[in-house]
Homo-oligomer: A and B are copies of this chain.
Amino acid sequence: MVLCVGKLKEKFYADAAAEYAKRLSRYCKLEIIEIPEERLRENPSQIEIERALGKEAEAIRAKLPSASVVAAMCIEGRQRSSEEFARLIGEAAGSGKSLVFLIGGSNGLDEGLKRGVWERLSMSRMTFPHHLARVMLLEQLYRGYQIQEGGKYHK
């Protein structure tokens, strides 16, 4: 399951995500759930941002399956190679719990929410828009299943 804050605005990212979701349907029961992004005024204060993240975190917690392992996508998390990521998916599958990836909105994820998760995962030291991050994550999931299968997609 991929729990995301906010909708994909650009058509090309929505199309890319849909394509990887289609390819992933061969391998897993993928569910992508979008949580509305809290609205903020122009130039919000740090406190206003944190309050909005807190509300989004509540909405995220309400959607989490009771038995789940949660990976939060965040720039300061741990980076893994595609092979390591494939093993991570395998481990989660072995646990019998639902694997849930969290992707925050433009201000990321609530600190409290991130503290409690199984894995804090970073894809890059670079900051990417969360829309593009969703496409990158879905591509890595697809690649991860291909690696597990010993397929030729991965190089």
Q: Contact residues of A with B, CB < 8 Å? A: 10-13, 15-16, 19, 79-82, 85, 106-107, 123-129, 132, 135-136, 139-140, 143, 154-155
- Contact present for A136 and B132 (CB under 8 Å): yes
- Contact present for A125 and B155 (CB under 8 Å): no
- Contact present for B128 and A155 (CB under 8 Å): no
Contacts of A10 in B (CB 8 A): 16, 19
Contacts of A16 in B (CB 8 A): 10, 12-13, 16
Number of copies: 2
Give the distance in Å from the alpha carbon of A155 to the alpha carbon of B43 in the complex.
12
- Contact present for B12 and A125 (CB under 8 Å): no
A139 contact from B11, B106, B132, Cβ within 8 A: B132
- Contact present for B155 and A107 (CB under 8 Å): yes
Give the distance in Å from the alpha carbon of A123 to the alpha carbon of B128 in the complex.
10
Contacts of A123 in B (CB 8 A): 124, 126
A85 contact from B11, B19, B126, B154, Cβ within 8 A: B126
- Contact present for A126 and B155 (CB under 8 Å): no
A127 contact from B79, B82, B127, B135, Cβ within 8 A: B82
Closest to A43 in B: B152
Give the distance in Å from the alpha carbon of A84 to the alpha carbon of B140 in the complex.
25
- Contact present for B125 and A80 (CB under 8 Å): yes
Give the distance in Å from the alpha carbon of A92 to the alpha carbon of B106 in the complex.
29
Give the distance in Å from the alpha carbon of A136 to the alpha carbon of B25 in the complex.
25
